[in-house]
Structure 1
Amino acid sequence: MMVLCILLAMLSLFLSLKLIYQRKLVQKVKKQIDFLIDRDTQTEIMVEKTDGTIQDLAASINHLLKKYRSMGQEIERSDTLFRDTITSLSHDLRTPLATANGYIQLLQEQDLTGEQKEYVTIAGERISAVKLLLDQLFEFARIEADELKLNCRNTDIHSVLRDVVASYYGDFEQKKCVPYIVIPNQPAIIWGDPDALTRIFSNVVYNAFVHGEGNYQITAAIEEAQTVITIKNASSSIQQEDIPHLFDRFYTTDQSRTKKTTGLGLAIAQRLVTRMGGQIVASLQNGIFAIQVVFPIVNS
């Protein structure tokens, strides 16, 4: 009986020491994983060759690391190829497009019949749409490649918003849907690039103008040391399942594909907002689609 108790005690001690040792090995593996998470390195997980189970675990982790590193490299190569292709297309097509647009303008100055004028107008609109697509593709490629340098400084975001809304006011009047606008006279100074802010608001307002179906609202307010800008419109083309994807590149809703949009406007806006430390979110409630842009103000 005594011998059995001694054997059980020794077995218990052995198992306890083995458990402690395995725990230390697991902690060592965890530290190596934590080290590798934020680093671009080809280093593998290393463990002592004294425990087969932990060695197998390390081998499986190294296999996963190799697989995901390979996938990451492939994605990076694809993105680089995409950006290079877009840049080349933009450069190669701009000159012939400018030439074609020049001929369209010459034709518009001629004495044309009503039907001929209609055809020339349609051709001009198609050329403008292609030019817009190329411009947005080129801009998006520069943003993705981190080649677009922002000139951030203290900027009154309310003033920028007013200028953009004013530039679209005539378009809304022609559509016979004058928006409800509330932009405080009080300046809201943020740290941002005025040109980038203009692009952000232009893209969001243009998106509302093209896809909206009335009940337009453009408001700005200062809330808890932040400026909150909201652009709303009625919409039947956007569904709740579209919301998580609206800022993805080239994403368009099924019903909006007929409106000849690039699917890049909101993607560009989202990336510019993020680069300047702001937030942009989309929501849909009771048929009202809203995009909200939030920036911290620096004069509070």
Structure 2
Amino acid sequence: MELWLESCIAVLAVLVLLLCIRLHLVKKAAREIHAALPEKLNTDTNTPITLSCRDKDLCLLADTLNQSLEQLRAMQHCFEQGNAQLQTAITSISHDLRTPLTAICGYLELLEKEPLSAASRQYVAIIRERADVMTQLTEELFRYSVVLSVPLAQSLQEVSVNRILEGSIAAMYAVLKRHRITPDISMTDHTVLRTLDPSALSRVFSNLLNNAVKYSDGDLSITLSEDGTIIFSNTAAALSEVEVGRLFDRFYTVENAKNATGLGLSIARALVEQMHGQMDAAYEAGRLVIRMQI
């Protein structure tokens, strides 16, 4: 009886040992998948996820993940190729439009100097307005393609965000006053230093100020916090939460926007993200609030 009991205990001990070894191998394989999956997602590599154990179920899981990663890489390459083709097309279109637009504007200037009837002068004014809008859109298309294709790494330097924001507001102050907008400015006394592209940051602020001209009901609040948070907010009763959610979409404009191309905020966000910052928009109690963190 004792011999039989000892034999059972020995068998159970062996089984427990085997189960512990198998559990250890399974946990090791799970850790290998956990470590390898983010690497495969974040790097452009065709190497598959490999496991040190040969467990059938875990190998099947790894094979499924490898197939999904391969499909994801193919979709990513298609997207990158399509995006590159779109940028090339935008650049080409903007270049192709510049020459005839320059000619049109030149002939318009000559026509405006000619003696015209009141009706003809009204028609010419309408043509001039439309030509100016097309010229602005063409320039925005060109700048947008440049922003997406030219990296900012070589232009980065330590700058004072306070100084650049002050300069941008000063440069746009006359335009704001012309639209009866008096900005309420609140800046920290602490100098906010960041390693950024100064011209790109100036462009971001300029686009945000132009956006206020398009959508503000007559007010504008600008704040700069010590942690680098910048908030542009203004009353915009004509906007809706849905419209605000689409303001960063390429070419999206709302009906009440004045001379909008739908690219200003897209360019601003792209530049901020290239400088490793964040920008978002919200609609809060009838106010358009744009926050950026740099």
Percent identical: 29
**1:17 CA drift (Å):** 2.0
- Out of 19, 22, 27, the position equivalent to 1:18 is 22
User: Which whole-Å CA distance do the structure 1 matches of 2:173 and 2:35 have between them?
Assistant: 56
Q: Indicate the residue corresponding to 1:154 in structure 2.
A: 159
**1:144 CA drift (Å):** 1.3
Q: Indicate the residue corresponding to 1:250 in structure 2.
A: 251
Instruction: Report if the CA contact (8 A) 1:230-1:291 is conserved.
Output: yes
The letter of the residue matching 2:211 is N
Q: Which sits farther off after the overlay, 144-153 or 74-83?
A: 144-153
User: Which whole-Å CA distance do the structure 2 matches of 1:278 and 1:6 have between them?
Assistant: 63
Q: Indicate the residue corresponding to 2:208 in structure 1.
A: 204
Instruction: Report if the CA contact (8 A) 2:277-2:293 is conserved.
Output: yes
Q: Indicate the residue corresponding to 1:135 in structure 2.
A: 139
The letter of the residue matching 2:159 is N
Q: Does 1:118 align with 2:122?
A: yes
User: Which whole-Å CA distance do the structure 2 matches of 1:203 and 1:12 have between them?
Assistant: 68
Q: Indicate the residue corresponding to 2:55 in structure 1.
A: 51
**1:259 CA drift (Å):** 5.0
Q: Indicate the residue corresponding to 1:236 in structure 2.
A: 237
C-alpha distance after superposition, 1:45-95 (max 9, x if no partner): 123573211110111010111010000000000011001101111111101
User: Which whole-Å CA distance do the structure 2 matches of 1:169 and 1:32 have between them?
Assistant: 53
**1:108 CA drift (Å):** 1.2
Aligned-partner SS, 2:139: helix
Q: RMSD over aligned Cα, in angstroms?
A: 2.9
The letter of the residue matching 1:246 is L
Cα distance, 1:153–1:103 mapped onto 2, change above 3 Å: farther
Q: Which sits farther off after the overlay, 158-167 or 105-114?
A: 158-167
User: Which whole-Å CA distance do the structure 2 matches of 1:187 and 1:11 have between them?
Assistant: 68
Q: Indicate the residue corresponding to 2:172 in structure 1.
A: 165
Residue ranges of structure 2 left out of the alignment (5+ in a row): none
Q: Indicate the residue corresponding to 1:287 in structure 2.
A: 286
Instruction: Report if the CA contact (8 A) 1:158-1:184 is conserved.
Output: no
Q: Indicate the residue corresponding to 2:81 in structure 1.
A: 77
**1:138 CA drift (Å):** 1.5
Q: Indicate the residue corresponding to 2:267 in structure 1.
A: 268
C-alpha distance after superposition, 1:201-244 (max 9, x if no partner): 22212222122233x124345x3364x55433221333223444
User: Which whole-Å CA distance do the structure 1 matches of 2:141 and 2:82 have between them?
Assistant: 16
User: Which whole-Å CA distance do the structure 2 matches of 1:158 and 1:278 have between them?
Assistant: 16
- Out of 53, 57, 68, the position equivalent to 1:64 is 68
Aligned-partner SS, 1:91: helix
C-alpha distance after superposition, 1:77-117 (max 9, x if no partner): 00110011011111111011000011111111111122211
Instruction: Report if the CA contact (8 A) 1:150-1:196 is conserved.
Output: no
TM-score of the pair, normalised by structure 1: 0.82
Instruction: Report if the CA contact (8 A) 2:165-2:202 is conserved.
Output: no
- Give aligned pairs, total: 286
The letter of the residue matching 1:64 is S
User: Which whole-Å CA distance do the structure 2 matches of 1:35 and 1:293 have between them?
Assistant: 29
TM-score of the pair, normalised by structure 2: 0.83
**1:141 CA drift (Å):** 1.4
